[in-house]
Amino acid sequence: MRRNLILLLCSGLLLALPLFSTGPASAGPQGRLVYWVMVDLVRGSVQATATVCAQTNVFKHGEEVVWRARVLDVASSEDPGDGGKNLVAIQERGLKVTAYLENGLSLPLRYGQHPGRATPGDPVAWFWATGWKIPDDFPTGTLKWWVVVTDKTGAFVRFDPIGAGANLPAPSIIVERR
């Protein structure tokens, strides 16, 4: 009888053991990145003084700063919107992508097809984008920016351009006189 009791206890321990082993996989580090966020700036077509759609962080008054962001789920390395085929998934996740300027301005990015009007057969990409036309009277100088991705689960991923926080010329938007 006593022997059986010991065996039952051992069995219980054996059963409980796998439950402890799942700890790291399910919990994950607190700072875990849920989304892989890539952002760049390009020159929009509005009153452009140089190549349109080229990457730059130097803009003239009246030009348009365009933020482009690609957001991938790190668990699958896939676009949650599945290249435009699963817009419902984006709504269900409550995915929001917002660009912020240090002057307090915030601009929501929209998930869409690029180029917007593609000729049938042309390859397109789906990503997040928004534009900001720099007012003609906007003060010249530099302007820090960043992009934040959030979802319904409380995920929060912030993207800062490379070199942000350091004394480097690249990270900020540079506004110049026309």
Partner 1 sequence: MRRTARVLGTAIVFAILMLFLSTDAPAAPRVRVAYWLMADVIRGGSNAVGAVGVQTNVFKQGEEVVFRARVLDIGNGQDPGQQGKGIKALQDLGLKVTAYLEDGQSFPLSYGRHPAQVQGREAATWFWSSAWKIPASRAPGSVKWWVIVTDKSGASVRFDPIGAGTALPPIAIIIEKR
Binding residues for partner 1, rule: CB under 8 A, are: 3-4, 7-8, 10-11, 14-15, 17-19, 21-22, 25-26, 28-29, 31-33, 36, 38-41, 50-58, 68-70, 72, 74-78, 114-115, 118-119, 122-125, 127, 159, 161-170, 174
Nearest distance in Å: CB 12, partner 1: 8
Whole-angstrom distance between the N-terminal and C-terminal Cα of the chain? 93
Is 104 or 119 the residue whose CB approaches partner 1 more closely?
119
C-beta of 87 vs 125, nearer to partner 1: 125
* In the complex, least distance from residue 155 CB atom to partner 1, rounded to whole angstroms: 12
Nearest distance in Å: CB 171, partner 1: 9
Minimum CB–partner distance for residue 60 and partner 1 (Å) = 12
Decide: 149 and 95 in contact? Cβ < 8 Å. yes
- Which residues, listed in sequence order, are joined to residue 59 by a DSSP beta bridge? 175
Strands ordered across the beta sheet of 58-60: 58-60, 173-176, 141-143
Cα–chain center distance at 19: 34
CB of 92 to partner 1, least distance (A): 18
**Pair of tokens at residue 156:** 């929060």
In the complex with partner 1, the residue whose CB is nearer, 15 or 177, is: 15
A 10 A CB-CB count for 26 gives: 6
Nearer to partner 1, 69 or 143 (CB): 69
For partner 1, the closer CB: 89 or 164: 164
Instruction: Encode burial over 71-97: b for 16+ CB neighbours within 10 A, e otherwise.
Output: bebeeeeebbbeeeeeeeebeebebeb
Shortest distance (Å) from residue 102 CB to partner 1: 16
Q: Which residues contact 69 (CB under 8 A, 6 or more apart)?
A: 37, 38, 39, 97, 109, 127, 128, 129, 147, 149, 159
Indicate the residue among 19 and 137 with the shorter CB distance to partner 1.
19
